Structure 1
Amino acid sequence: MKLAVQVKLEPTPAQAAALEATLRACNEAATWVSGVAFEQDVKRNFALRELTYGEAKERWRLGAQAAQHVIKKTCDAYATLKANLKAGNLGRPGSKRYRQAAGKPIVFRRESAQPYDDRMLSWQSGDRRVSIWTVAGRLKDVAFTADERQLATLVLYRRGESDLVCRDGMWFLLATCEVPEAELNTDPVDFLGIDLGIVNIATTSDGEIMAGRALNRIRVRERGLRTKLQRKNTPSARRRLKKRRRKEARRARGINHKIAKHVVAEAERTSRGIALEDLGGIRARVRLRKPQRATLHSWSFHQLGQFIAYKARRAGVAVVHVDPAYTSRTCAECGHVDKASRVSQARFECRSCGFVDHADRNGSRNIRARARELWRRGAESTAPALPPQRRGGAGRKRSITASDARCASPAI
Structure 2
Amino acid sequence: MRLFPDAGQESALRDTLSLCNHAANVVSGEAYRFRAFGKQALQRLTYGRLKGMGLSAQPAIHVARKVAGAYATLKANIRAGNLGKAGSQRRREAEAKPIGFRRDAAQPFDDRCLSWQLADRTVSIWAVGGRLNRVRFGCSEQQYATLVAHRRGESDLVCRDGRWFLYATCDIPDVEVTAPDGFLGVDLGIANLATTSDGTRHCGKGLNRVRHRSQRLRAKLQRIGTKSAKRLLKARRRKEARFAADTNHRIAKQIVTEAERTGRGIALENLTGIRDRVRLRRPQRVTLHSWAFHQLGQFIAYKATRSGVALVYVDPAYTSQGCSACGHFARANRPNQSTFRCMSCGFAEHADVNAARNIATRGATGWAAVSLPNAA
Instruction: Indicate whether the TM-score tops 0.5.
Output: yes
Which of 71, 75, 85 is matched with 2:68 structurally?
75
SS at match of 1:135: coil
Q: How far apart in 2 are the matches of 1:350 and 1:287?
A: 24
Matches within 5 A, 1:377-396: 377-378=369-370
4+ runs of 1 displaced by more than 4 Å?
A: none
Count of equivalent residues: 372
CA separation of 1:161/1:90 partners in 2, compared to 1, >3 Å: closer, same or farther?
same
**1:153 aligned residue:** 146
Q: Which residue of 2 aligns with 1:355?
A: 347
Aligned to 2:192: 200
Q: What's the offset of the Cα at 1:84?
A: 1.3
User: What corresponds to 1:27 in structure 2?
Assistant: 21
For structure 2, the 5+ residue unaligned runs are none
Q: Which amino acid aligns with 2:152?
A: R
Displacement after TM superposition at 1:212 (Å): 3.0
**2:262 maps to 1:293:** no
Residues 202-248 of structure 1: per-residue CA shift (max 9 Å, x gap): 11111111123222111111122122222333333232222212100
Q: Could you say which residue in structure 2 is the equivalent of 1:387?
A: none
Report matched runs for 1:4-403 at 5 Å: 7-59=1-53, 61-185=54-178, 187-378=179-370
Tell me the CA shift for residue 19 of structure 1.
1.1
The worse-fitting range, judged by mean Cα deviation, of 117-126 and 318-327 is 117-126
Q: TM-score, normalised by structure 2?
A: 0.96
Q: CA deviation at 1:103?
A: 2.4
RMSD: 1.3
**Among the aligned pairs, what percent are the same residue?**
60
CA distance in 2, matches of 1:277, 1:210: 16
Question: What is the letter of the counterpart of residue 126 of structure 1?
Answer: A
Q: What secondary structure is seen at the aligned counterpart in 1 of 2:193?
A: strand
Distance 1:292 1:317 in 2: 34
Q: Secondary structure at the match of 2:111?
A: coil
The SS at the match of 1:200 is coil
Select between 135-144 and 319-328 the one with higher mean Cα deviation: 135-144
CA distance in 2, matches of 1:86, 1:237: 38
1:197, 1:310 → 2: CA distance? 20
CA distance in 1, matches of 2:10, 2:334: 57
- The one-character-per-residue Cα deviations of 1:7-33 (angstroms, maximum 9, x if unpaired) are 111112222221111111111110110
In 2: Cα distance, 1:289 partner to 1:334 partner:
31
Q: Bigger relative contact order, structure 1 or 2, given CA contacts below 8 A and separation 6+?
A: 1
Amino acid at match of 1:323: D
User: How far apart are 1:379 and its partner, in Å?
Assistant: 5.3
Q: Which amino acid aligns with 1:167?
A: R
